[in-house]
C-alpha cells in the first residue's frame, strides 16, 4: 500500500459494514463491549463517591475547607486511577487482561464526556434540554459498543475481512472494496473503528480521512421545496412548477399484523422476572428473537427508503428548502405519533444536511417553524387565519385558487429560494418587487395579510428564512438571519 499523503480536500467520513463473526469472535466482541460498560460504571462510581462523601460531611457540620476534595473526571485522570485500581479491584482483577485496553478507554472516555455535559448544562453553557448527572449503565439495557483508536486497524486486501486489535481477523457480511480502493490508492487513512451491536447483528464503522472531490448536481439552478407529511411522505415542488409526490411506504403499519401475532406469542411464554431474578425460558427467548427480527426488518426498510429519497434530492437540486418541524412536539399527539415516528421526519432533515455537503454549489434553506406554508396561497399570497388539518384541499378566498394542501405548501417553500432576492415567500410573487416591511411580530399568530408586502428593502432575508449559503465551502452551518 502507498503511504498516505495529506492533501487539501480531505474530509472525515464513516464507512460502515455488517460483520459475520464466528462464535469465538462474537463472544470476544461482547466481552469488549462489556468491559467498556464496566469501566464506565467504575468511573461514574469513583467520581460520585466524593460527591456523596462531601454531602455526608456537610450534615455533620464539617467546615468547607475540611471537606473531601472533589475528584476530577478528566480522561487522563480517570485512566491513571483505573490503571491503579484494575489490579486490586475484585471487579476487574480476574479478567481485565482478556480485553484490549481500548475497551476500557472507551468507557472512561464516555464517562468523562458525560460529566462534561452535565457540568456545562448545569452552568448554562450547553444548549438543549437540561442534562442530569451520569447514571450507571444496566447490563440488560446498555448498548454494546467499543471504539478502537490504536493498534492494528485495517481492511484486508481480500476485501472481505477486517482486522481489529485483540479481536483479530473478522469476516464482513458485505465487501469492503470501496474503502479498500481508497486506502490502496493512498487517498484515505483510517482514524478509528467502532464495533456496535444493533438490529440483531454486529457492525464495524471506520472513521476515515478520505479525499473527496465535490460532485455537481444535475440541476444546480433549480430550487425545490419539500413538504413532509403522513398521508404522503413528501411533496417536492421545484421552481419550474413541477410537482412530484413521494408516497409514504408505512413500513411499520405493514408489519403491524405480524408484530401483534409475535407479541401475543411472547406474552404466553415465561419471560424474565426482575423482581425474583427469574430467567426466561428458551421458548420465550426464541419467540422474542422472532419478534425482534420483524422490528429490525422494519427499521432497515425505513432506513433504505429514506436514504434513497434524500440521495436523489441532494443529487438533483442546487437549492433545497425544508421545514423546521418540531418533531418532539408532534409525537405528543397520541393519534398521529405512530405514523409520524414511522415517517422519520427528523432523519430526512439530518440526511439532507450532510449529503448536501458533498455537492458543489448547493445550499439548504430551513424555513422557520412558524412560517405558514400551508395557510398561504401560492397564487396571490393571501393567508388564511385557520386551516384545520382535516382540510386537504386549499381554497383561496381572494383569488379562488383550488389546490391540494401539500402541493400548495411545497410551492410556497420553493418560493422561499426562488424569491430570495425580493425577500417574499409566496410562489405567485416571483416577479413582484418588494414593498414596505410588515414583520409578523413575535406573537406567532398567523395574520390574514399578503406576504408579498413583507419584502425587505435591499433583499434581506425574512424572519421565516434560515439559510445556509455556499461560499468557499459547498455547505456551511445553518445560520439564522434574524
Long-range CB pairs of 439-444, under 8 A, 24+ apart, other chains included: 439/463, 440/370, 440/464, 444/370
**Interhelix angle for 75-85 vs 23-59, to 10°?**
100
Determine the Cα–Cα distance for residues 370 and 385; give it in Å rounded to an integer. 13
Active-site pick, 238, 353, 368, 406: 406
406 as an active site residue: the answer is: yes
3-state secondary structure of 297: helix
3-state secondary structure of 350: helix
Determine the Cα–Cα distance for residues 189 and 3; give it in Å rounded to an integer. 9
Determine the Cα–Cα distance for residues 258 and 301; give it in Å rounded to an integer. 15
Task: Compute how many other C-beta atoms are within 10 angstroms of the C-beta atom of residue 403.
Answer: 17
Those residues with Cβ within 8 angstroms of residue 248's Cβ, 6 or more apart along the chain or in another chain: 229, 230, 231, 232, 233, 343
Measure the CA angle with vertex 48, ends 43 and 53; round to 5°: 140
**C-alpha cell of 121?**
448544562
Measure the CA angle with vertex 43, ends 37 and 48; round to 5°: 130
Active-site pick, 102, 238, 323, 368: 323
Active-site pick, 102, 227, 238, 429: 227
CB distance 162 to 151 below 8 Å:
no
CB distance 112 to 74 below 8 Å:
yes
Which of 377, 379, 354 shows the shortest CA–CA distance to 364?
A: 354
Backbone angles phi, psi at 198, to 5 degrees: -150, 150
Q: Where are the alpha helices (DSSP H) in 60-192?
A: 75-85, 101-122, 177-185
Element (H, E) at 323: strand 317-323
238 as an active site residue: the answer is: no
227 as an active site residue: the answer is: yes
* Residue spans of beta strands (DSSP E) within 178-231: 188-198, 201-211, 219-228
Determine the Cα–Cα distance for residues 202 and 138; give it in Å rounded to an integer. 20
Question: How many CA atoms lie less than 13 Å away from 8 in the CB half-sphere?
Answer: 1
CB distance 210 to 14 below 8 Å:
no
Question: How many CA atoms lie less than 13 Å away from 24 in the CB half-sphere?
Answer: 6
3-state secondary structure of 344: coil
* Residue reference for cell 463472544: 27
Beta bridge partners of 403: 394
Active site residues: 227, 323, 406
Amino acid at each position: 500500500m502507498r503511504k498516505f499523503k495529506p492533501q487539501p480536500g480531505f474530509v472525515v467520513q464513516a464507512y460502515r459494514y455488517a460483520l459475520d463473526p464466528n462464535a469465538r469472535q462474537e463472544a470476544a466482541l461482547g466481552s469488549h463491549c462489556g468491559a467498556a460498560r464496566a469501566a464506565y460504571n467504575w468511573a461514574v462510581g469513583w467520581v460520585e463517591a466524593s460527591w456523596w462523601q462531601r454531602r455526608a460531611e456537610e450534615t455533620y457540620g464539617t467546615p468547607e475547607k475540611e471537606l473531601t476534595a472533589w475528584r476530577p473526571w478528566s480522561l487522563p485522570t480517570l485512566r491513571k486511577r483505573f490503571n491503579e485500581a484494575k489490579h486490586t479491584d475484585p471487579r476487574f482483577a480476574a479478567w481485565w487482561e482478556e480485553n484490549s485496553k481500548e475497551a476500557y478507554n472507551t468507557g472512561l472516555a464516555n464517562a468523562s464526556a458525560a460529566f462534561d455535559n452535565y457540568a456545562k448544562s448545569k452552568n448554562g453553557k450547553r444548549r438543549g434540554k437540561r442534562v442530569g448527572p451520569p447514571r450507571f449503565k444496566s447490563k440488560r439495557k446498555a448498548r454494546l459498543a467499543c471504539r478502537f483508536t490504536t493498534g492494528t486497524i485495517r481492511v484486508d486486501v481480500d476485501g472481505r475481512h477486517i482486522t481489529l486489535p485483540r479481536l483479530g481477523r473478522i469476516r464482513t457480511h458485505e465487501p469492503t472494496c470501496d474503502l479498500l480502493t481508497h486506502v490502496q490508492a493512498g487517498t484515505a487513512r483510517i482514524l478509528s473503528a467502532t464495533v456496535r451491536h444493533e438490529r440483531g447483528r454486529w457492525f464495524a464503522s471506520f472513521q476515515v480521512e478520505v479525499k473527496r472531490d465535490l460532485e455537481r448536481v444535475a440541476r444546480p439552478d433549480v430550487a425545490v421545496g419539500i413538504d413532509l407529511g403522513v398521508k404522503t411522505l413528501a411533496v417536492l415542488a421545484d421552481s419550474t412548477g413541477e410537482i412530484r409526490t413521494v408516497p409514504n411506504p408505512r413500513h411499520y403499519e405493514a408489519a403491524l399484523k405480524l408484530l401483534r401475532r409475535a407479541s401475543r406469542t411472547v406474552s404466553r411464554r415465561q419471560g424474565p422476572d426482575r423482581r425474583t431474578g427469574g430467567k426466561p425460558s428458551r421458548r420465550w427467548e426464541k419467540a422474542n428473537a422472532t419478534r425482534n427480527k420483524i422490528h429490525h426488518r422494519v427499521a432497515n426498510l425505513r432506513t433504505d427508503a429514506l436514504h434513497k429519497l434524500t440521495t436523489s434530492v441532494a443529487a438533483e437540486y442546487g437549492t433545497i428548502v425544508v421545514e423546521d418541524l418540531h418533531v418532539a412536539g408532534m409525537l405528543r399527539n397520541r393519534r398521529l405519533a405512530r405514523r409520524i415516528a414511522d415517517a422519520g421526519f427528523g432523519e430526512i432533515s439530518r440526511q439532507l444536511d450532510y449529503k448536501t455537503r458533498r455537492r458543489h454549489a448547493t445550499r439548504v434553506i430551513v424555513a422557520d417553524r412558524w412560517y405558514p406554508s400551508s395557510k398561504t396561497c401560492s397564487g396571490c399570497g393571501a393567508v388564511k387565519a385557520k386551516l384545520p388539518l382535516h382540510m386537504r384541499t386549499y381554497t383561496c378566498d381572494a383569488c379562488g385558487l383550488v389546490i391540494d394542501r401539500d402541493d400548495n405548501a411545497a410551492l410556497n417553500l420553493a418560493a422561499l429560494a426562488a424569491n430570495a432576492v425580493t425577500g417574499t415567500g409566496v410562489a405567485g410573487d416571483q416577479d413582484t418587487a418588494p414593498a414596505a416591511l410588515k414583520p409578523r411580530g413575535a406573537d406567532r399568530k398567523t395574520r390574514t395579510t399578503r406576504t408579498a408586502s413583507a419584502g425587505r428593502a435591499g433583499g434581506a432575508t425574512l424572519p421565516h428564512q434560515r439559510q445556509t449559503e455556499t461560499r468557499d465551502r459547498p455547505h456551511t452551518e445553518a445560520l439564522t438571519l434574524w
